[in-house]
Amino acid sequence: MSANKHLSLATGRRAPDDLPSQAEAEDAVRTLIRWAGDDPSREGLVDTPTRVVKAYREFFAGYEADPVEILQRTFEETDGYDEIVLLKDIRLESHCEHHMVPIIGVAHVAYLPHRRVVGISKLARVVEAYAKRLQIQEKLTAQVANTINEVLEPKGVAVVVEAAHQCMTTRGVSKPGVTMVTSRMLGAFRDDPTTRREFLAMIGS
């Protein structure tokens, strides 16, 4: 059976009975410590496997979240509001799927309502749900925009992500201070240059 068949279509997470146990995960950390050249049984490292596994649960909590469900509750009493709704500078913490090192940055998320709006905290939660997974920035940007577009059915969606990748700043070419910018424009933000310019002006780009 293909490994993908073990994944939940809603969350992208493997079924619980297909996951390694806590003990197996901690043993894997001990193996990495030994591979690095240290002794996992010494005082300073003896509790490290437990702490690492606990941290990983936080880092990758997005696999437990369903972004579609997050956006399900909407509000129709908008008094005809049909201008841009924008959430700027959403703190973003993710991990590169190629090296499993941090991606740190911000996301700007906007949409043009069509009859209904969603609580602004839900937009931030959708970003977090996708960010807290093994990711590449391009895919993350598209996932956030596509999900908002599919669930809310707005007139348009715009997502811009600006982030620094530790796989580039702390290893490899080692170029600190470099920021990667990705965007996904749908609907009016793609088709109407005026709407797109308004959004970019609002985020200071």
CB-based contacts of 181, cutoff 8 Å, min separation 6: 160, 161, 162
pLDDT > 70: percent of the chain: 91
Average pLDDT (174-196) is 92
Kindly report the length of the chain: 205
Say if CB 132 and CB 61 are below 8 A apart. Answer: yes
Residues noted as catalytic:
96-99, 137, 165, 167
Q: How confident is the model at residue 30 (pLDDT cuts 50, 70, 90)?
A: very high
Predicted confidence (pLDDT) per residue in 83-131, tens digit: 999 999 999 999 999 999 999 999 999 999 998 899 999 999 999 999 9
Nearest to 105 by CA among 93, 95, 115: 93
Residues of the chain with pLDDT > 90, as a percent, come to 77
